[in-house]
Structure 1
Amino acid sequence: MSAAPTTPELDLSWLDLYDDPTSAEPTKKGLTLDAIDIGDYASAEDLPRDMTPRLRGAASRENAHRMGLTYQTKHDVWADQCRSLYEEAIQRQWSSARDIPWDTLAELPDEKERAICQVATMLTEVEFIAGDVPGQWLPRISGDEFEVGLFLMTQIMDEARHTDVFRKRALANGGGLLQQGAGLGLRNLIEAQDFTEMSVLMHVQAEGFVQSMFRMGELIGPTQADKRIFRMAAQDESRHLAFGVMHLKHILSETPERREEIHHYLDKAEERSAGGGSGDVTFPPVFESLCILLGGGKDRFDEGVAKFLLLRRRQVKEYLHRLEVAGLGDRSERLGPALAQYAN
């Protein structure tokens, strides 16, 4: 017979770990992340970091294993208000199955149906990558800044829903998935080697361009279902964009010497693609589709082109404004040629 298992000696030392017992109190919004950011558990710049999965405030353990390299300063990943953005994200989730009025889809002229399906095809690709990218950075975020990780997890869920809803739209009304997008700018996001590089290119540049387009959903969407899709997706993109602007503002405040480095990331991205990581809307199938939708048909293509140019100018103007608000300064004289033509 095998020997009976050995019972370890009782060790209750963990009962004495808390020098300052804490009782967080709910606010009017409930027990939020801000409400539990108190005492020894509050966020701070000079916390001891050990690259283990220990979250901020937990007692460290001498033999805990490292889990790989993580950022060792708060400002490398932090964004003010990231906690409130997380709270908003979990409260404003929506379902592509239930919250889109699919019954309002109606038979459209073939050119319009194919046009909205081409735009949806491009967006499924863009949004899939936009969910993939933040997932690559989660292992490198310290447990001391776990709120950033929580927010990025909500972004992944948002982008999954966007991929889902645009794919459904392409398949729901007699159309289908059409031409794959150019995808040049998407590589900039995947290849980013620094968190700030990734955030500036994805959250500020790419999501900013997408947000400007989503906000024109009333003009682009040929049915009430399409308009609702753009409206709901824009709601989510606003959070991602806000995180990026606030992170950029924080990093420039804490490490202003990185300003030229960040400009260089944008130089490279603007030179590589006219659409940033949002997918190149000047790619012929996407450009022509948007012009058909904006103009109201092939026979009004010129009117659509005029509105498309307004969209591009709006995208670039809002992009420059966000960079300036974040503290990067006026970038209008430094824009890549593909974007500079729309700056005036």
Structure 2
Amino acid sequence: MQTAIDIEALGFDAGAHLLVKHALLDVPVGASVHVTGRSPGWDAQLAAWCRAQGHACTLSATDSGTVAVVTRGGAAAGRWRDALATGRSAIAAPDAVAAQAQPRWGLAARGATVEAGSPEMYFRLDRKEEVWTPRAADLYAQAAAAQWDPETAIDWHAEFTLPDVVEDAVVQVFTYMIENEEAALVVPARFLGQVHPHYREVQAVLAVQVADEARHIEVFTRRVRLKGREPGLSTAGGQASLKTLLDETDFSVAGFLLSVLGEGTFVSLLQFLHAHAPDPVTRQIARLAARDEARHVAFGMLHLAERLEHEPALRVRLANAVQARNDALSATSGLNEEVFDALVLLAAGEFTPAAIARGYTRVQELMRDMADGRQARLEKLGFTSDAARDLSALHTRNFM
């Protein structure tokens, strides 16, 4: 049965090609559609369109006017004939993830057909093994569902008054945490722009981590200024420790140092702060931030577990990175003394000798808990118990 359409007086500069394209979709490759029309020059416009699309077009004159016979070209016809499908022909299954993303895919959606002649775009992190975890999509969905609004999630109007020495301690701890969260924002932000868009789930996880850290910096800063205070002390040792994170160029190693070791340790710190917070605002902030940080640790662990499964030798590089960071910071003072004293005071609950003794003991317990947590995560990544213990002990005294 012959397929025929009449485009009437509709010109190709006004959308007639849509009618022809739709008609061709209803016939198999190699079959023809007969086209008639009345717009001035429609037949020449049709012929030009067909050449661009890779369809054959034969024009013939009849008593009633020109008839065009358009024969449908192959699936890779016309301007698409040299294109590469990023999720179909290049990969076994729709939306499957390629082992290496190609520059010619550019910013195209995974699975899209990329037109020949599109510009090549180079992303440094273009190999699946460098960035991937199969759980990335799940982690992003969880993170998106768990986002919270600082304005409504925290009761900024809660009434409380702390002794000056306690308020100063809170301010110092949050001052310290702000600069650490700045590092935790900058590191994933730097890598975010280097990940090929083909690995969009990883992009999404990094993007939401950046959003989390921005929110933490906002609420920590608001808590610092809540009672009219200015930020406290930032030390050279703390800055030097964080700079080593910013200097790491390897995605997996940076994630290991930041998320598995640093942010994992920070989860313990936030839980400690939640348990010993002297006011409801600090307690709420610590609980919400700890929940976010735990997700960041989860991504780091899942990514590294995936990569280590295929590249066991990576453990040597990870261990060397911990040692190198320890060596680089050997001349620094480690944890800000003001921060340590502030934590002791917050854990004490009051300014008496007996309470301070209890606070000091609790901070020592916190540090042991941090070390045990690091060791457990390292063992989960395949390090021996002895190696995990030694590496945990080498982690920066600045916690992050």
TM-score (normalised: structure 2): 0.71
Deviation at 1:72, TM superposition (A): 3.2
Q: CA deviation at 1:16?
A: 8.3
Q: Distance in 2 between matches of 1:40 and 1:336?
A: 43
8 A contact 1:215–1:231 mirrored in 2: yes
- Whole-angstrom CA distance in 1 between matches of 2:194 and 2:209: 17
Deviation at 1:266, TM superposition (A): 1.6
1:47-126 to 2 correspondence within 5 Å? 50=104, 52-126=106-180
Question: Do 1:165 and 1:229's aligned partners in 2 also have CA atoms closer than 8 Å?
Answer: yes
Q: Percent of counterpart pairs with the same letter? A: 26
1:173 to 227, 230, 250: 227
Instruction: Give SS of 1:42's match.
Output: coil
CA contact (8 A) 1:127 1:163 kept: yes
Higher relative contact order (CA 8 A, sep 6+): 1
Distance 1:141 1:304 in 2: 44
For the pair shown, which has the larger CA radius of gyration, 1 or 2? 2
Matched, 1:131 2:185: yes
Partner of 2:152, secondary structure, is: coil
Alignment pair present for 1:219 and 2:271: no
Identify which of 336, 356, 375 aligns with 1:320. 375
1:111 CA drift (Å): 0.8
Residue number in structure 1 paired with 2:300: 244
Between the aligned partners of 2:184 and 2:395, the Cα distance in structure 1 is 21
| 2:103 and 2:123 in contact (8 A); partners too | no
Q: What secondary structure is seen at the aligned counterpart in 2 of 1:217?
A: helix
Paired residue secondary structure (1:132) = helix
1:264-319 C-alpha deviation (Å, 9 max, x unpaired): 11212344459xxxx95x21111111111011234332221111110001011101
With over 3 angstroms needed to count, the CA separation of the structure-2 counterparts of 1:69 and 1:42, relative to structure 1, is closer
Closer, same or farther: CA 58–287 of 1 in aligned 2, 3 Å: same
Q: 1:212 to 1:334 in 2, by over 3 A?
A: same
Is the contact between residue 171 and residue 223 of structure 2 (CA under 8 Å) also seen in structure 1?
yes
**TM-score, structure 1 as length reference:** 0.82
1:334 deviates by 2.9
Any conservation in 2 of the 1:201–1:269 contact (CA below 8 Å)? no
User: Where does structure 1 lack aligned partners over 5 or more consecutive residues?
Assistant: 1-6, 19-37
1:335: how far off? 3.0
- What is the CA–CA distance in structure 1 between the aligned matches of 2:160 and 2:251, rounded to whole Å? 44
2:103/2:122 contact within 8 Å kept: no
1:166, distance to aligned residue in structure 2 (A): 0.2
- Amino acid across the alignment from 2:222: K
Q: Is the 8 A contact 1:270 1:336 kept in 2?
A: no
In the alignment, is residue 305 of structure 1 matched against residue 360 of structure 2? yes
Q: 1:145 and 2:199 equivalent?
A: yes
- Report deviation, 1:150: 0.7
Change in Cα spacing, 1:260 to 1:223, as seen in structure 2 (3 Å) is same
